[in-house]
A = this chain, B = another copy of it.
Amino acid sequence: MKKIRAGVLGATGTVGQQLVRLLQGHPWFELTALAASGRSEGKTYAGACRWLLPSDMPRSAASLPVETCEPGLGCDVVFSGLPSDVAGPVELAFASAGYAVSSNAAAHRMAADVPLLIPEVNAGHAALVERQRRDRSWGRGCIVTNPNCSATQLALALKPLHDAFGLRRVSVTTLQALSGAGYPGVPSLESLDNVIPFIGGEEEKLESEPCKLLGELVDGTVRPAPILLSAQCHRVGVRDGHLEAISVEFCRDGVTPQEAAEALEAFRGMASMLSLPSAPERPIRVRTEQDRPQPVLDRDEGNGMTVVVGRIRPCPVLGLKFELLGHNTVRGAAGAAILNAELLVAMGYLGN
């Protein structure tokens, strides 16, 4: 199979760098174009980008020119790691010019005809691409989005529980990693020996995106799942890996920790059936030690694409509680966007 040409928008940012890293040696995609803000124009990627990841910048990327974020890039699919405040019109321009856009930005996530996708959770929502193309006359172009990092891992863990027992109310408190704020992000004087109990816009996303993700696609429209969510978000002094303390109330009474664990462990999702290359063997791992998951020990599970659940136990207030960890820049950002593009390929919406 000839590889599909891929570009990265916002290539010099933290999500962009992860995209570049993860696209190295990808079996379906080949990185052929990089774009960033005007400041980088006329430079190679090596010259424009302050590479922040431990391994060296991939050589094939280093020599690519950094272009501006406008249609004309030599590729078929673009991965957007743009900041949300500029992503909106740029992504529309690419889609209408015939590019498939797999975006990590929030700009279009809640638009009625844009799929908000986690392949394991709601692969079927990708069919909204057809409505997009028809209604917007985009030809081969389209936009798919992945959720906010915290919402991604939450929706992954809620999906099998919702399917098995029906969710009514969910309360989540997050302890989020520093890399979620990008670079330069959080000043060290605010993170050292400290916790910041606020992340702008995060609670709103966590209280809305999972409902769309767990919703049903009926007649070209997603009916949000009727789940009441409340979120309290914190930034903690951890490099990578968001931890979430979750309590849930089920429609059904008497769901035991054992039943919940079985539902979580059994979960595979459509991504696994479709054999998407970036899909982990199992999207959820359940650990039984009393003090797991922990960011430093568990964030790289399944190459960062598996979320880890632990401490499943009764909650006196809502019914059941547990801890959840996911790698925010892999499963929650770059890896998510790539997995979504793989889904587009598998479903025939993207290809040579």
Contacts and interface: CB of A to CB of B under 8 A. Distances in A.
Interface stretch (A60-68, A71-79, A232-240, A343-351): A232-240
Interface residues of A, number: 58
Interface string A167-196: 001110101001100011111111111111
Interface in A97-113: none
A290 B290 CA distance: 34
Contact of A297 (B54, B186, B207): B54
Interface in A210-261: 228-230, 232, 234, 236-239, 243, 245, 247
A187 B183 CA distance: 7
Given A230-B315, A245-B234, A321-B230, A239 B171 contact: no
A294 interface: yes
A273 B213 CA distance: 54
A52 interface: yes
A123 B245 CA distance: 34
Contacts of A310: 197
Nearest to A191: B188
A130 interface: no
B311 A198 contact: yes
A175 B178 contact: no
A1 interface: no
A321 B232 contact: yes
A151 to B, nearest CB: 15
B189 A187 contact: no
A133 interface: no
A91 interface: no
A337 B64 CA distance: 42
Contact of A317 (B55, B228, B295): B228
A293 interface: yes
B183 A189 contact: yes
A30 interface: no
Contacts of A321: 230, 232
Nearest to A297: B54
A299 B192 CA distance: 14
A245 B192 contact: no
Nearest to A194: B296
A140 interface: no
A181 to B, nearest CB: 8
Interface string A34-72: 000000000000000000101100000000000000000
Counting from the closest, the 7 A-B pairs by CB-CB distance are A173-B173, A184-B187, A198-B291, A188-B191, A230-B317, A232-B245, A194-B296
6 contacts: A54-B298, A54-B300, A171-B247, A184-B187, A191-B192, A195-B243
